[in-house]
Amino acid sequence: MKFENLDFEFDEMGEHAHHIFDNHYGVSVVRGPYTRGGRQGLYELAVLHMPPGAEYSELVYDTPVTNDVEGNLTPEDVTRLMKRVSKLRSKQKMQ
């Protein structure tokens, strides 16, 4: 998966896309006037988790990829982080 494959939606707050990988982790990628780097044309990325059967994903801050939202990212940076997220080990079923 590369940045170019993301399907962005646009609204008054900017552009945003998300993708969930087979390991149930995913990314939320945004750019707008209030995101870190958005005014310079750069992106923010947050890591998501969506357990099997869940209706919605949730932000996670406890992965080896990052413990926060990453900002000021070029499309190449986004692709690099997406590759790392896609390789995360699936979480065991929550109890």
Tens of pLDDT, residues 33-63:
999 999 999 999 999 999 999 999 999 999 9
Q: Looking at residues 73-94, what average pLDDT do you find?
A: 89
Q: List pLDDT tens digits, range 4-35.
A: 999 999 998 899 999 999 999 999 999 999 99
Domain boundaries, the chain: 3-86
Q: How far apart are CA 90 and CA 41, in angstroms?
A: 32
pLDDT of res. 43: 98
pTM value is 0.91
Residues 6+ apart with CB under 8 A from 57: 18, 20, 26, 28, 48, 49, 50
